Amino acid sequence: MPRIAVVGVGYVGLVTGACFADLGNTVTCIDIDADRITALNEGHLPIYEPGLEELVARAADAGRLRFTTDYAEALDGAEFAFIAVGTPSGASGEADMRYSEAAARSIAQAMMGPLIIVNKSTMPIGAGDAIGNLIRRELRDPWDVTVVSNPEFLREGSAVTDFFGPDRVVLGAPDRAAAERVADLYRPLNAPIIITDMRTAEMVKYASNAFLATKISFINEIAAICDQLGADVAEVARGMGFDKRIGRSFLDAGLGYGGSCFPKDVRALEHMASIHGCHPQLLRAVMEINRDVRRSFLQKLRGALGSLDGKVVGVLGLAFKPNTDDLRDAPALELIHLLQHEGAQVRAYDPAAKEHASQLLSDVYLGTDAYDVATGCDALALVTEWNEFKELDMAAIGRRMRSPVLIDGRNIYDPDELTRLGFHYIGMGRAPAGDAPVGPVAGQADGADLAASAPVQATANRYDPGPGR
């Protein structure tokens, strides 16, 4: 079986290494963080990801997965070297390539034979060419080097499942033979494999993430309109989702996107477009809506409580999404900062991210569970839709609160049920029926005019779908 080196033991690198090892390959993961490597060799993972701990243990026990800080050790006999290090946002939104470039230099200096370099990290368009040129300049011996772009599409919280059941595998390379060799690693997964040029493969990743972020911002824009017009965005999304051209996924209104991918990738794509003469106004709107939805959440809280100064607010969920402990660009962190800025006291709980949160948050009480956090609160804010929050005894939660105000940032609760239990329930785009506007919408003369004009307009729209629909 092939020998593989994976540079980086974060979410992408560790999952990639462990899964390839589970497929029968011999994998060595490299990281410059000695403490992380020591912990991994002792069986302790640096991240929380369902199913990963068992996978790592099984592959390590079988001798197919090792961890080291030594590039020479990892590359000894390797046919492939996957680069899976972070590419965070730079000062202007650009992807910061310093870690990828450092990994490339270290690979070049430790290579002992021909090698296929696989860019697994999300890198800017043209990065594959740059990494290949850098390695060739740094080589101690004139070994043959080929770079293949292989963007990852792993979702935190389901990364192991996503690896073994991908929608597609995308490979980009100037050398078709090298791409086919990487494709052979993935063939046991029986997934569609797309082989294209390197820059197109790099763009597939950015375009995919930007589109998904756009769907999230779109439904949040609709939610804001629903709030004003008295519609229920959850039902709107359900009705939209039956349309096969739209689909139901990523149409859950809430606090917007966060994490390590969508925010930085949309910013990076906007940066690349703008410096090359484009005007990426849609991408800018996506980012603006995502920022504003967090502010509107705060406004809902302020509106319910009158003032936040001196109030006690409980926050349920800190990680940017369920089934992970990742706090990067998590909406909860920004919300807590804004709450504290307005004088609120914050109590918070997360099933997995408490340890990481304790290192990032100050003057925040981190509770043992949701019931603990709710005690004495003037309001409770649901931020991350962990399954355990869906199963809470909400009557018991309400009894522990000073005032039963609940703002549901992910629309996981039934508004009617919460109201029946005595809560003042506030959702995202789920205005109570009593708050619906009375009379014609602004811009309509009156009800009679609306009735007269509607049939003609509906007929035109129904039978003239337009080009490309």
Q: What are the residue ranges of CATH 3.40.50.720 in the chain?
A: 3-196, 207-435
Q: Which fold has domain 207-435?
A: Rossmann fold (3.40.50)
For residue 456, what pLDDT is reported?
33
Which residue positions in the chain have pLDDT lower than 50?
Answer: 433-469
Is 19 considered catalytic here?
no
Global pTM?
A: 0.88
What are the C-alpha distances in Å from 367 to residues 84, 338, 347? 35, 20, 7
Q: Kindly name the residue from 19, 29, 261, 377 that is annotated as catalytic.
A: 261
Amino acid at 123: M
The closest of 355, 398, 352 to 375, measured between CA atoms, is: 398
pLDDT 10s digits, 297-353: 999 999 999 999 999 999 999 999 999 999 999 999 999 999 999 999 999 999 999
CA dihedral of residues 83, 86, 87, 91 (deg, nearest 10): -150
What's residue 294's pLDDT? Answer: 93
* CA-CA-CA-CA dihedral for 75, 96, 12, 169, to nearest 10: -90
Retrieve residue 306's tokens.
Answer: 């009158």
3-196 has CATH 3.40.50.720 classification: yes
pLDDT of residue 96: 92
List of residues 6+ apart from 123 with CB closer than 8 A: 87, 95, 97, 100, 131, 149, 202
